[in-house]
Amino acid sequence: MRVSLVLKKNCSMCRDVTRRVLEYGEKELGLDMYLDIEAVDEVTWGKVYRPGVDKVDAVIVVGGDGTLFRLLHKIRRDCETPLLTVKAGRRNFFMEIKPEEVEQRLRDFVEGRYLIEEYPRLDVVITGRGVAAPPAINDIVLTGWGPYRYKVINLNVYVDEEKLYSISGDGIVIATPVGSTAYALSAGGPVVDHKLSCVVVVPIAPIQFNAKPVVASLDRKLRVEVAYGDVALVVDGQLVDRVKVGECIEVTKSMCGARLVRFSRFSTYARLST
């Protein structure tokens, strides 16, 4: 079995966990262990893994939610590889394994004692230019660009070509069910059970009183047109591109979800309370 490790940079605990797991996997479990090519200056290891290029049987992510998101953006069309996640970041909502348990959990995985939870992702394209952003597991945000981010922007929002509303405000969040607990929740959206097949649309500080959060089927196509202002497209917290007046983004369900390894059932509500 080929297993790779990806870790958060400049994190001493992540480096320590990675060294332990690389040695344990090869010596105790007989695995073929690889290290993310971008981490070779952090940990010394002879075999490297290039995300999105090399094929492995599993990836262990050591860090927080941001580390997981960055990996998913690199392997955007990989629908099969299971991901084991180790809690070693500031935000660990998606992460599963405590650092002190990682060797035992890796053995559990190798011996088949685990569950797979699949999380939907959202494809986003800037139409006209054909620019495709990485699929979002958490959320897609449109907000003011650069020094203009504190100015009001105007957006027209459509669901399957039917106009939902025109909004003036700080922007909009389009979230997956599990992403409903992040920025969308802070902006006034609902908490959505991650098992539901839906997408959440939440205006950010709108001027219009009728611009309320909306929950739509995940099978719907969402389109957002920029009517006024320079707009930043942000996917899972990472700036992707600039969207100009007259341009649109289209959001649809991705064909590739994210497959995360669990050792007990994931609960949105339990995670919120911790």
CA 157 from centre of chain: 23
Is 138 annotated to bind ligand? yes
Is 127 annotated to bind ligand? no
The C-alpha R_g of the chain, in whole angstroms, comes to: 20
Is 104 annotated to bind ligand? no
Is 205 annotated to bind ligand? yes
- Do 248 and 224 form a contact (C-beta atoms < 8 A)? yes
Is 65 annotated to bind ligand? yes
* DSSP-assigned letter for residue 190: P
What order of strands is seen across the sheet that includes strand 153-159?
131-136, 122-126, 248-253, 222-228, 153-159, 162-169
CA distance 89 to 8: 8
Q: Which of 16, 32, 36, 65 is catalytic?
A: 65
Is 151 annotated to bind ligand? yes
- SS3 state at 61: strand
- Do 174 and 200 form a contact (C-beta atoms < 8 A)? yes
Is 181 annotated to bind ligand? yes
Is 139 annotated to bind ligand? yes
Is 270 annotated to bind ligand? no
Establish whether 65 is a catalytic residue: yes
Give the catalytic positions in this structure: 65
Q: Which residues are annotated as a binding site?
A: 65-66, 70, 138-139, 151, 170, 178, 181-186, 205, 238
Q: Which residues are annotated as a binding site for NAD(+)?
A: 65-66, 70, 138-139, 151, 170, 178, 181-186, 205, 238
